[in-house]
């Protein structure tokens, strides 16, 4: 072979919005093929006859894949990892620190639901680029000679990223400087979050990194979940989606103040958005959540200062600083002693400390308190607290210094924390807000026991489609209650309980359908006719995916400063065929508008709707390669004969099942032809 070659094969998420899995093959000049995989997701809520066959094909690559790159920790991108490991994968898993932490939680929970043995994560070799001291988003990291990858923030959920790989077609002398080489680039977008102020529904994540413009050849694997969704209406009133969502929530909380509210939410990211929204409403007092009668803290017998320092084993840095100042006032030059008894304090010192407690730890009698009814959500919250405010040292021009990896400037502005800076005060303030918003252990109680007594509460539980998780044990307490409200906050797959509830809220069922259709629950089905609670669909205000306009802008480079930029070759995956076709047409229309402008690069953008299990050759501008017998990875097995190890490759060749040493794979057509001439098949046509 005269040049380094890169090919792609899509093993999942073609015509579907789940099951993401793409194979990348890199073959250097006069070298061996190396395989990398980007995501390894399972199908969720999509009924395809080919799912089991697709899974078999994915797992057949386990022993040959050297590296697995995860874009984020949703199960439709990581769900097959346990099976991949069982099938023999012993390579390296590449992901961000947050994705690794979330992956462990999500897969452990999934194994519990499936009643499978948990994954032994100690046996997985993780490579975490953002744990490197020299980490920088978009900066290249070497995989092999002249084959690099880099991490690009995608703003979908915490830790999510796009992966960029770049390589050279030619083989350069060792002393050739990198800048003097001709590079090709490929981007795997993963799931892309909405980021502009008109359509971004969250204030947590800073902007995503879009592919660079340039004169080099670029390929982009682009998700198309909402490729058929038209853009939101332009903002004419100056309000962002976040502003409008808060207004709607405030309206609901005021209108249904004496009701119990249940929010089925996806455990990963949607729940954290909701909790932050509710805390923001409390923070700005947009709803009069507090009564005037505040509970005043009293000192208990033999109580120590530790109770003031730590509330529910969580320490407030801001409060500790105030308490240390009081301590030094009365006990100068002494280190604060958390085991010091209140009864041994001077009366004035005790009064000052209790005043601080009453300021920082108010427990109102009339408080519309969110209650987390999901152990999974609580575990995920710990990862958000640890990673959302994480920082790295940037060396980029005009942007040097310590920067937040993920936290948006909008978050700082919303909570009045000023511009992004490296001060300890700002970091402590951010962590204090996240602590208050995400951790509500003081609100935990026996739900079933106290539900009738406890009204005017908001209960958040998983899962978002109301089909599994803790939510299915809570729904019976709400569905028949006229003084209850259910808030839907996300996508509802067809046929799920959430799908029926959403259609019911829109009055899309006839009386006959309401009488015959049911919500399926472990404790017994409930007819739609018998549902008395109020159902409100808020999904229009919550989205983790970019819409069609944002996806188009991600790939069509219409920059008047760089009209000469070469347009990329785009492969659309992770979307229904309808969404992919709608996005393809929108991309091509935007590119036609670009081409009409004077000075624009005359080469049009190329958009492929790839098919599953076909090799696409990037050395030939993404064209499909002819089918080859060896295009599907073989299952491998080792036989030991004396001191010689022979690795055999098992293949189905039409009506033959052939096993040969791996080094003779390329001879399979000849071998199968020889056997076909020599073997006489029995009448039942069994494979030989």
Query: Do 605 and 4 meet the contact criterion of CB atoms below 8 Å apart?
Result: no
The C-alpha atoms of residue 422 and residue 431 are separated, in whole angstroms, by 14
Report d(CA 125, CA 35) in Å as an integer: 17
User: Nearest 5°: CA angle at 564, between 560 and 566?
Assistant: 115
Return the pLDDT at 47: 62
For the chain (688 residues), the mean pLDDT of every run of 10, in chain order, is 90 93 94 94 76 89 97 97 96 98 97 90 94 92 90 95 94 86 94 74 85 86 91 71 90 87 94 92 65 46 74 68 89 88 84 77 52 88 93 70 88 89 86 85 44 65 89 93 94 88 96 95 95 95 90 87 84 95 96 89 93 94 82 43 42 52 57 53 38
Q: What is the pLDDT of residue 534?
A: 97
pLDDT at 543: 86
The DSSP H or E segment spanning 432 is helix 424-438
CA–CA gap between residue 58 and residue 10 (Å, rounded): 10
pTM of the predicted structure, to 2 decimals: 0.79
Which string of b and e fits 393-423 if b means at least 16 CB within 10 Å?
eeeeeeeeeebbbbbbebbbebbebeebeee
Tokens 């599994």 locate to 468
Predicted pLDDT of residue 26 = 96
Q: How many helices (H) and strands (E) does the chain have?
A: 19, 31
Give the angle 212-25-102 at the CA atoms, nearest 5°.
70
How many CB atoms within 10 Å of residue 99? 29
pLDDT reported for residue 638? 40
């Amino acid at each position: 072979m005269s040049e380094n070659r890169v090919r792609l094969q899509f093993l999942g998420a073609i015509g579907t919005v789940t099951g993401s899995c793409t194979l990348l093959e890199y073959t250097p000049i006069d070298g061996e093929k190396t395989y990398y995989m980007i995501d390894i997701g399972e199908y969720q809520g999509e009924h395809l006859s080919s799912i089991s066959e697709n899974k078999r094909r994915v797992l057949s690559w386990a022993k040959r894949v050297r590296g697995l790159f995860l874009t984020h920790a949703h199960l439709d991108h990581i769900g097959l990892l346990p099976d991949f490991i069982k099938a023999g994968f012993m390579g390296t898993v590449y992901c961000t620190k947050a994705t690794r932490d979330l992956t462990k939680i999500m897969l452990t929970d999934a194994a519990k639901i499936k009643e499978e043995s948990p994954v032994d994560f100690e046996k997985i070799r993780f490579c975490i680029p953002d744990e490197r001291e020299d980490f920088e988003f978009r900066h290249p990291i070497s995989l092999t000679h002249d084959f690099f990858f880099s991490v690009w923030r995608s703003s979908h959920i915490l830790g999510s990223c796009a992966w960029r790989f770049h390589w050279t077609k030619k083989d350069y002398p060792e002393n050739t400087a990198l800048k003097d080489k001709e590079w090709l680039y490929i981007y795997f977008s993963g799931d892309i979050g909405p980021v502009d102020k008109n359509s971004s529904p969250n204030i947590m994540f800073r902007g995503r990194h879009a592919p660079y413009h340039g004169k080099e050849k670029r390929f982009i694997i682009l998700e198309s979940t909402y490729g058929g969704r038209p853009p939101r209406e332009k903002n004419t009133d100056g309000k962002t989606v976040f502003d409008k969502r808060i207004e709607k929530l405030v309206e609901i909380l005021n209108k249904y103040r004496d009701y119990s509210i249940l929010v089925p939410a996806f455990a990963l990211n949607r729940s954290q958005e909701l909790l932050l929204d509710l805390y923001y409403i409390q923070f700005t007092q947009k709803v009069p959540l507090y009564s005037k009668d505040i509970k005043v803290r009293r000192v208990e017998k033999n109580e120590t200062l530790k109770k003031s320092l730590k509330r529910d084993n969580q320490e407030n840095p801001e409060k500790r600083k105030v308490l240390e100042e009081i301590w030094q006032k009365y006990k100068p030059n002494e280190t604060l002693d958390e085991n010091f008894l209140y009864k041994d304090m001077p009366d004035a010192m005790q009064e000052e400390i209790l005043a601080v407690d009453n300021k920082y730890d108010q427990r109102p009698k009339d408080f519309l308190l969110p209650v987390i009814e999901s152990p999974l959500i609580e575990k995920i919250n710990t990862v958000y607290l640890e990673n959302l405010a994480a920082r790295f040292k940037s060396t980029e021009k005009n942007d040097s210094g310590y920067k937040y990896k993920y936290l948006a400037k909008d978050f700082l502005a919303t909570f009045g924390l000023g511009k992004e800076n490296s001060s300890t005060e700002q970091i402590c303030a951010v962590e204090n807000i996240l602590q208050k918003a995400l951790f509500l252990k003081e609100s935990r109680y026996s739900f079933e026991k106290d539900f009738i007594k406890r009204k005017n509460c908001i209960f958040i539980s998983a899962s978002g489609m109301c089909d599994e998780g803790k939510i299915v044990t809570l729904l019976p307490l709400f569905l028949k209650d006229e003084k209850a409200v259910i808030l839907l906050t996300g996508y509802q797959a067809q046929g799920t309980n959430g799908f029926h509830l959403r259609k019911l809220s829109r009055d899309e069922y006839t009386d006959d359908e309401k009488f015959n259709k049911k919500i399926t629950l472990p404790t017994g089905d409930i007819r739609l006719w018998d549902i008395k609670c109020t159902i409100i669909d808020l999904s229009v205000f919550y989205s983790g995916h970019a819409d069609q306009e944002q996806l188009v802008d991600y790939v069509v480079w219409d920059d008047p400063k760089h009209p000469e930029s070469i347009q990329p070759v785009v492969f659309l995956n992770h979307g229904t065929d309808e969404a992919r076709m709608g996005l393809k047409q929108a991309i091509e229309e935007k590119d036609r508008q670009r081409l009409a402008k004077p000075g624009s690069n005359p080469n049009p953008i190329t958009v492929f709707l790839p098919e599953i299990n076909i090799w696409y050759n990037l050395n030939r501008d993404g064209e499909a390669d002819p089918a080859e017998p060896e295009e599907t990875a073989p299952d491998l097995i080792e036989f030991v004969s004396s001191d010689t190890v022979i690795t055999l490759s098992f293949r189905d060749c039409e009506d033959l099942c052939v096993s040969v040493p791996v080094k003779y794979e390329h001879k399979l057509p000849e071998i199968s032809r020889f056997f076909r001439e020599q073997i006489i098949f029995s009448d039942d046509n069994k494979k030989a």
